[in-house]
Amino acid sequence: MSVLSLKNISYSYGATPVLDNLSYDFEAGHMYCIVGKSGAGKTTLLSILSGLAAPKQGSIFYKEQDIKSIDKYKFRSKYIGVIFQSFNLITKFTAMENVMLSMDIAGVKNSRKKETAINLLMNVGLTEEEARRRVLKLSGGQQQRVAIARALSYNPDIILADEPTGNLDGDTQREIMKIFRELAEQGKCVILVSHSPEVAEMCDICYELKKTTRRTKKKGRS
């Protein structure tokens, strides 16, 4: 069963079409990559997948249930963890506080939130000292890890990430991709959006957005 399905999705900004009749399936335990040139509509598609934008046509199903019939707030704060292109972290807060805030917003009941937040951050490679440091004073790669830990803070089924390795060096990129691979192995559905052929290579299934958005390509598992 697909954890997330798009059926005949189209989207336009005013009169400008961006996505045209897309139908994609996403299953648990797999890593997907949505690739395409700059401006092809990757971030737009990610907004639709995460329920932040509604498609002009077509439907999205979460475990076979149309997301129109699921409370939007619940969908976004419980089922899907989103890692934005620009992280959207609160930079004056510490890494740990960012993760705890996300748990609070999702209504996570946990009497040991601090410890849980630190553990989540250490699981993605931060030290305890870094977890207690303000985000502003962390490197780009470390901020990316905080954004991943925050997305995991309420244990969603689906992880969506926009250009998760965009500004990172090769080694850090591979470390971050290893974290996503482990999440897929734990049964999460991981959906990445990327320009990078290396990132696409490391995923199981690749959907390519064309600027004209007339055709899509599906690559099987290698």
Ligand X SMILES: Nc1ncnc2c1ncn2[C@@H]1O[C@H](COP(=O)(O)OP(=O)(O)OP(=O)(O)O)[C@@H](O)[C@H]1O
Residues within window 187-216 making contact with ligand X, judged by CB under 6 A: 195
165 binds Mg ion (CB under 5 A): no
* Residue of 4, 18, 48, 200 that binds ligand X (CB under 6 A): 18
CA-closest candidate to residue 180, choices 209, 136, 221, 147: 147
Residue 15, number of CB atoms within 10 A of its CB:
5
The nearer residue to ligand X, 38 or 212, going by C-beta atoms, is 38
44 binds ligand X (CB under 6 A): yes
Residue 120, number of CB atoms within 10 A of its CB:
26
Residues within window 120-139 making contact with ligand X, judged by CB under 6 A: none
* Residue of 24, 26, 30, 36 that binds ligand X (CB under 6 A): 36
Q: Which residues of 38-51 are buried (b: 16+ CB within 10 A; e: fewer)?
A: eebbbbbbbbbbbb
41 binds ligand X (CB under 6 A): yes
Strands (E), the chain: 2-13, 16-22, 25-27, 31-35, 57-62, 65-66, 80-83, 158-162, 189-194, 205-208, 218-219
* Residue of 9, 22, 33, 42 that binds ligand X (CB under 6 A): 42
* Residue of 38, 69, 111, 212 that binds ligand X (CB under 6 A): 38
43 binds Mg ion (CB under 5 A): yes
Size of residue set near ligand X by CB under 6 A: 11
List contacts with Mg ion (CB under 5 A): 42-43
